[in-house]
Amino acid sequence: MKFAKVALAVAVVALAGCDGMKREHKEAAADPSAIEKELKTIEAGWEKDYQARDVDKAVAHYSNDAAVANPGMALASDEVSRKMAISQFLSDPSMKVTFASDRVDVAKSGEMAYTRGHYAIETADPKTKQPKTETGSYLTVWKKQADGSWKAVEDFVTPGAPAAQ
């Protein structure tokens, strides 16, 4: 009988601990709307970094193992090639870029998300030196880092139909 009481007491304590873990897990659950807002804020800052032609800040939005695919350029999947691609892009003195997400989807775990959006880029045509505008779409996969920040791990840009003139 004494053994049964001890076993019952152990079971009650174990179940109480499980209930506490469930509450902690629920409290730590991801808030998709907060993450969506955070990613939109990060992208707005990223756009400003491009507009300011700040290569280092633009590159800092990528994780160390990120891949960047821009139209007409080789896949940039290491730090040196990412920085080179962004430096080349920002070297055009007439470059103007705008972009914004149209959709944000957050994984239930809150550790990964993606943004899909639209962009417009104005650059100088290399041949005519006249301004030209390109529009298109992008898809960026984000991963929450150990320090709690969000970094782009995949960033793919695809041109769309020519911009209306």
Residue 164 included in any domain? no
Residue 165 included in any domain? no
Please tell me the total count of domains within the chain.
Answer: 2
Nearest to 141 by CA among 132, 128, 154, 129: 154
Question: Do 118 and 149 fall into the same domain?
Answer: yes
Question: Do 36 and 17 fall into the same domain?
Answer: no
Residue 114: give the domain boundaries.
Answer: 31-159
Report field, pTM of the whole predicted structure over 0.95: no
C-beta neighbour count of 108 within 10 angstroms? 9
| CA distances to 11, 42, 102, 133 from 14, in Å | 5, 43, 47, 64
Which amino acid belongs to residue 108? K
C-beta neighbour count of 44 within 10 angstroms? 12
Say how far apart CA 70 and CA 88 lie, in whole Å: 12
Question: Do 130 and 140 fall into the same domain?
Answer: yes
Residue 106 included in any domain? yes
pLDDT tens, position by position, 21-78: 444 444 467 899 999 999 999 999 999 999 999 999 999 999 999 999 988 889 999 9
Residue 18: pLDDT over 70: no
Question: Do 86 and 130 fall into the same domain?
Answer: yes
User: Whole-number mean pLDDT of the chain?
Assistant: 86
Question: Do 5 and 75 fall into the same domain?
Answer: no
**What integer pLDDT is reported at residue 10 of this predicted model?**
43
Question: Do 107 and 129 fall into the same domain?
Answer: yes
